[in-house]
Amino acid sequence: MSIYTRYEPHRKKKSKGPWVIFFLLCILFFLGYTYRKEIYFLFAKDQSVRAEKTKEKIIELWKSQNLKEKDIEDFQSIAQTYSEKDPKDPVAFHLISRSLFWTLYNLGIHFDASSLILHLGSDFSEMIGQSQLADSTLDKMFWSARKSEALTNSDYTDFENNRLLLFLCETHRSVKRPSALISEYGNIKTDSLSPELLPVYFWLLTYNTMQAGDAQGLEKIIASSKDPNFKGGIQFSPREENFLLGLGKFYKKDYVGALSLLRSVKTNIPDRITETAILTEATIFHLQNLTQKGIDLLEEYYNETGKKNSEIPNIIKKMILERPSAKTKIILGTE
């Protein structure tokens, strides 16, 4: 009698190893993503050293006129990382503000003699222009520099540079009077300023001194610019000097002195100095109840220059509103 045995081959149990590895990898990925900054900081080099080296590199690129937008973006990224690793280090927040200064430079906002003369008779906002990026950049600069100041227990290498950036931002904010800004920042130690910020300081000091109507202060600034050892980066011609002093006397309400100086800088070429001198002279006439004389001066200049400055009719219109007896040959708008 045959006996049949049931044969069943041995079935090897499936290994759970791959699933365990996959599960562990998922956990590691999750932890790596969650704590990515901490891990980066753990293995990254000293951020302060890296940020300082990048700052010096930017200055050298500026000197050689090879500074590119990518260089500025890299500096901003490194400064931001530095502040995140050391949130109580004042240097980190100064470097954020410093990197944002270069954004202004990249936007074409330069603090030189030409821009100073061009904007002396106007609000600082005209210097910045209508760019929202410039406005937001200056706002971020201000709060970063202010935080650096708040965290400072003692002076650090860039302490005076940080004060300079605050001077710039405070001028833009227009919250404090020019005389108050001069009092607060006029004693910045220029020998501690970085070379790219020296012209900015001289620019801001001249602008605010003029706005404050401090003719004596302007004379001191002009005299210092003639010093052979002057490193402010801004020089004035004799005509520009008289223009500066004339505007300073105007803001001080020394109208007789202002008229004498402003008339001396006018030329037959309708450049910015000539135009500002004429507009200021007409304003002085208006303030002295000689409105008709001021309007006649503006009309003559307006016609001689081909009616290019559309602001002149608006100025005349305002003068007539305040002095209804005055007349004009220019057709004014009804608005």
More confident residue, 294 or 227: 294
CA 42, CA 216: separation in Å to the nearest integer? 56
Could you give the C-alpha distances from 298 to 26, 34, 259, 328, in angstroms and in order? 77, 67, 15, 10
Q: How far apart are CA 315 and CA 269, in angstroms?
A: 22
Taking the C-alpha atoms of residue 317 and residue 326, their distance in angstroms, rounded to an integer, is 10
pLDDT band at 259 (very low <50, low <70, confident <90, very high): very high
- 3-23 pLDDT per residue, tens: 555 555 555 555 555 666 666
pLDDT above 90: percentage of residues in the chain: 45
* Neighbour-count burial for 25-45, b at 16+ CB within 10 Å, e otherwise: eeeeeeeeeeeeeeeeeeeee
Q: Kindly report, residue by residue over 68-108, the tens digit of the pLDDT.
A: 999 999 999 999 988 888 889 999 999 999 999 999 988 88
CA distance 184 to 163: 10
Question: How many angstroms from the chain centroid is the CA of residue 30?
Answer: 42
Tens of pLDDT, residue by residue over 20-34, are 666 666 666 655 555
